[in-house]
Amino acid sequence: MKILDGESHILLTNELRPPLVDKQARVQALQNRLEKAFEDVSNNRSQGDEKQALLDLASRFEEEARADSDMVVIFGDEDPVHPELEGCSDAIHVWAIGAILLGSGSERLTRDPKRRLAKSLVQLTSILLHRILKSFPKVSFEKFKARFSNDEELKKIFGTADSKLTGDFREYVDVLLDAYEFSLLSSPVRMMFDNLSNSAGQPVLRTSVSNIEIEGQVENLIARVWSAEMDASKERSSLLEAISKLPPFPFLRITLSSYFIVRVFWSHWDRRNRFALLDAAEETLRPLSQGIDKGRLKRMIAKEVDESGSASID
């Protein structure tokens, strides 16, 4: 299994450009609306039923998508039918088992076997991401989205009256569908990075992973992200360098930035590592003229650390 000679890795192209990446202002409006709906439902404010329906919308999209015969390739519920996915199931099993074996044997393996296995995992991660992302059924998803532009379909799903199918409601549906598409499309990246760090993220492996000598921007990025998960403060410079060399295409950069933010708040507790990953999230978005409120996020982390009374981080 490999990427064809002369073929660019899909993450280094602009081939992946779901509508959401060009609608960041609408995304912020969607986030604000969801937060307000959650607050109103939690506090039993007026129109609670309607706002609960808005909060349930994403779950309903997934239910409908999983029931759609054209969409099963996304979820892996049936044998792959896309030519790009041929052989991927076995390769994914090998990849997952390899990560577990490396993690469980990290204390016993000597340097060279660890580095060879880590390098092979990086290479296989890159190939699998390329193959899986190229198989995303754009046409099927467009057909799926078209169902929700139909007023009768919306009324059937939400049981809403004609008067509530306003332009504002339809826009909300459109943006949430775009967000759902982006989440589906970016999920292989998040899943594979998560699995490497969770299955083989023991600190003793950091030197082996960080010293991998490998060609390819995507492979280098994977190795740098993986080693940063073990100690982001020590790997900060190499991670930022790898990020700076990526092309300015929004899908990969927004996906990476989102991944770093999630890891900061759900997977890391050392303040230095969390700050280093915030730097990575900020650097990732820089070429897109976007950013994160790093100062506010750092204050949140500092407050969280102070309230926990942890003395192991400074």
Global pTM?
Answer: 0.81
Sign of CA dihedral 215, 218, 222, 227: positive
63 CB contacts (<8 Å, ≥6 apart)? none
Q: Residue holding tokens 């991944």? A: 259
Q: Where are the beta strands (DSSP E) in the chain?
A: none
CB 179 within 8 A of CB 88: no
Output 195 or 31, whichever has higher pLDDT.
195
In which band, very low, low, confident or very high, does the pLDDT at 58 lie, cut at 50, 70 and 90? low
Q: What is the 3-state secondary structure (H, E, C) of 169-184?
A: HHHHHHHHHHHHHHHH
Per-residue pLDDT tens over the stretch 6-54: 789 999 999 999 888 887 776 666 666 655 655 655 555 545 455 565 6
Query: Does pLDDT of 230 surpass 90?
Result: yes
Q: Write the DSSP string, 86-149.
A: TTHHHHHHHHHHHHHHHHHTTTTS-HHHHHHHHHHHHHHHHHHHHHHHHT--HHHHHHHHHHTT
Per-residue pLDDT tens over the stretch 93-149: 999 999 999 999 999 999 999 999 999 999 999 999 999 998 887 767 788 788 777
Q: Distance between CA atoms of 289 and 67, rounded to whole angstroms?
A: 39
φ, ψ for residue 71 (rounded to 5)?
-105, -5
List b or e across 90-127, with b for residues whose CB sees 16 or more CB atoms inside 10 angstroms. eebeebeebbeebbeebeebeeeebbebbbebbbbbbb
Domain boundaries, the chain: 20-230, 232-314
